Structures are given as structure tokens and as C-alpha cells.
Amino acid sequence: MNLKSLLLAGGALLSGTAASAGGYQVTLAGQKNNGMGGVGVGLSLDQAAMFYNPGALTMAKERGVQVGVNATIARQAFRSQYGGPQRELKNNVVTPFNLYAGFTSEDRKFAAGIAVYTPFGNKVEYADGWEGRYSLTGIDLKSVYVQPTVSYAITDRLSVGAGVVILAYGAVNLQKDIPVEGAPGSGPAHVELDGKATTKIGFNGGIYYRPSDKISVGASYRSKIDAQVEGGDVKFSNVPTTLGSRFTANEFDATLPLPATYSLGVGITPNEKLTIGVDVNYVEWSAYKTLQFDFRGNNGAGGLVSTSGQVGGSNISVSRREYKDAVTLRLGGQYQLTSGLTVRGGASYDFSPVKDGFVTPETPDADRLGLTLGASYKFGKFGVDLSGQFVDLKKRTQTEADLVANNTADRVAGTYKTRVLIPGIGLNYTF
């Protein structure tokens, strides 16, 4: 049995719980935005504009520093096509965070800032003995992005901005069982892939325009980045000595595209207390056609036909993904109840980029509905932001016939159902 079946887990390489967006994209970058369905492209709420639309940074009312953290709590269930008990994830909580510091010139024409956030990260562990254990038993993913940003107000109603997006840290740990029995009573053999991503650089840019005091519009673009793991560790355990020659790989390389995103947004302010936002995000997921692992050593194919068509050991494996471009629709609003208290609400609908027959256990993606609530309270120059999200993914089923027809037998036939709860809190200081 080769490592090709582990490739499905690589689809989450430096990826997220997909709590707020399709595929392996996560958008939990701003605490106020989180409470408003994730809108932000056509608004200038605060320093989180560096992520949503850097062109709006100059138009933010106040300079400041803010920090936030979220907890993604997922409940995911799986039932095999062939029956048996329902399998559920072990309980894990992931805590993506964000940090922003923005500064504006005295004449309000120029703004600059720095953003640190974690747009990709996840931890998944399936129950012992589940039907897909030869495809995946667990994933632990971490990433940190750093983004220096500048923004300039061409007029008092038109501004532009850009940021350098740096993948400063990324790490991935993928594990699965191998259908080879180890020592008597010890269970199957096991493999673990562990690696760190090389530093990569991309960019984002945006434009923000207020045609009137009650309407604002924005557009932004975030470039594609190829996340690369080079020289990751491969560790086999519980492999019988007699089969050791079939499992000699000790390092791997892999590349995952983090796709480009185009966004449009409109902000409506009927009065000074009410703000409404509408966003549309278009993600070029079609860049993700295949995932290839290159191994240093034999990846375990010994005696079987490898992906290269040769008999014996193999040092390369390829898994089909065939993602399609997808759209996310977002709607949100906020209302200032008192001088210190603001409340928020919103919703989003995300169309999955994953085609039928290509669903994987690490991101059993489906069209999803998100509902959000939030509130802020301001104490002079200090403020607290609270947010909560509930994300419901449609039930997703794929059959063995689907897998065979699509040449995706490296994953599992059955039905997935996922729900995610995401509480969040942020602190901010304005000056």
C-alpha cells in the first residue's frame, strides 16, 4: 500500500477548518467583521481593513491597535456507505488570532500599518478504528501571515492601498494507518508526515470610494501564493521488519496553491447609527488541479503499480483535486445602541469548490450557511469586541462508484455532516 491515500490529507496543507469559507480558506481576520457575516470590503470599520480592503485603511475614523482570538469548535460526523456506527471527530479547539496596528498622518491623507493573522490552521483527529483510517487519522496545521500595509487618500472620498502578504510561518503534520499488520496485537502500521513551509510572498490591494455620505463601495484583490514544504520528515512505525524495504522514504516535498481572491463590497449608512454591508468574494479555486508528493526514498509502493506506472518502489504520488472557482455571498450590519454599545448581525452563503466524488476527510466541504452575531463596548479609548458564528454545512455524500469513476479511490465513500461554532473576542485601543 503506497502513500497515495495520504495525499487527500495534503489537501489541507497549511489549510483551515474552512469555518468561514469554502475549500480550505478561513476568513476570521477581524472581530467586528466576524459579527457581521464577514463583510468588510466596502466598509472602513477599523484597522482590519488591511485584510479586507487596504484601500479603506486611510478612511478608518481612528488610529489604533487591536488584537483578537477565535475558537473554532467543529462537530463532524461520518457514516460509511456500507453501514456501521456513525463516526465523529475527537474534540479539538483551534484558536486563530489577529493583530493590527494602524497609523494615520495628521492630514488624514496617508496611513500605514502592520497586520498579523492566521488564515490557515486546523486540528482534526478521527475516532480510533474509523473506516477512513487508511486515508487519514489526524491533521495538525498552523500558519502565521505578516502583512505590512500602506494606504493613500487621493481625495476625501477616494483612497487606495496595498499590502505585502508574507507567509512567515507554516507547519503541517499528517497521519494515517497503513493496511499492513505490525507485531501481533499491535494493530496496523502507521505513517506520519511532518514539515514546515518555506517563506513565501504575495500581495493584496484595494480601492475604496464614497460617492455620497450614505454609500461606500470597495474592491480588493489578494494574490495566489504557492505554499511549499521542502524536506519534510516521513516517519513509519510498526512496520514489520520483513517489509522494511518497501517503506524507506524519510523526506518529502509538496506544494499547495493558496488561490487568488477577488472581492467587491458595498456599504450603506442610512443614518449615523446604522451601517449595512454586502460583499461578494470570487476565489480562483480552479488553480488546484492536483496535489503531488515527491519522496526521498521508497514511499511504500513496493510490489504494487505506482502512480508512475512502474512496478516496485515509487518516489512520487499524485492525487486529483479538480477544484472549481467558487463564490461567497455576505450580508451584515451594525447598530449603535448607545454611545458605548454597538450590536451586530449577519449571514453568509458559501458555494463549495469541491466537486462530487472529490470530497476528502480533512475538509469534507459542502455548500454552507453561516449566521453571525456580535457586539462591542467602548470605554473611552479602550474597547471590547465580541463575536459568534454558527456554520452549517450541507450533508455531503459520495459513493464508491463516484470514487472509481473519478479515479479518486484514495478517499472514503460515505456521508459527511459538519457544523462549526466560533466564539471570538477582541480588544482594541484607539488614539
DSSP secondary structure string, 351-405?
A: ---PPTT--BTTB----EEEEEEEEEEEETTEEEEEEEEEEEEPPEEE-HHHHHH
DSSP 8-state secondary structure symbol assigned to residue 91: P
Distance from chain centroid for Cα 30:
15
- Separation CA 141–CA 361 (nearest Å): 15
Q: What is the per-residue pLDDT across 47-92, written as a single tens digit (0 to 9) for each?
A: 999 999 999 999 998 889 999 999 888 888 888 888 877 777 665 6
* Residue 335 vs residue 246, higher pLDDT: 335
Residue with cell 466598509: 43
The domain of 269 spans 3-430
* Overall domain count for the chain: 1
Which pLDDT score, from 0 to 100, does residue 24 have? 57
What average pLDDT is seen over the chain?
A: 85
Which pLDDT score, from 0 to 100, does residue 4 have? 38
Half-sphere exposure for 144 (CA within 13 Å, toward CB): 9
Cell of residue 50, nine digits:
488591511
- Separation CA 46–CA 43 (nearest Å): 9
pTM score of the predicted model: 0.86
Cell of residue 151, nine digits:
494606504
Which pLDDT score, from 0 to 100, does residue 178 have? 84
Q: What is the per-residue pLDDT across 170-194, written as a single tens digit (0 to 9) for each?
A: 888 888 888 888 777 778 888 888 9
CA angle, 47 then 52 then 57, to 5°:
40
Cell of residue 148, nine digits:
505590512
Which pLDDT score, from 0 to 100, does residue 26 have? 64
Give the CATH number of the domain where residue 50 resides. 2.40.160.60
| Confidence class for position 22, pLDDT limits 50, 70, 90 | low
| Confidence class for position 312, pLDDT limits 50, 70, 90 | very low
* Residue 307 vs residue 73, higher pLDDT: 73
**Dihedral class, residue 41 (left if φ above 0, else alpha if ψ from -120 to 50, else beta):** alpha
- Please check the confidence at residue 211 and state whether its pLDDT lies above 80: yes
Closest residue by Cα to residue 295 from 257, 258, 247: 247
* Residue 110 vs residue 299, higher pLDDT: 110
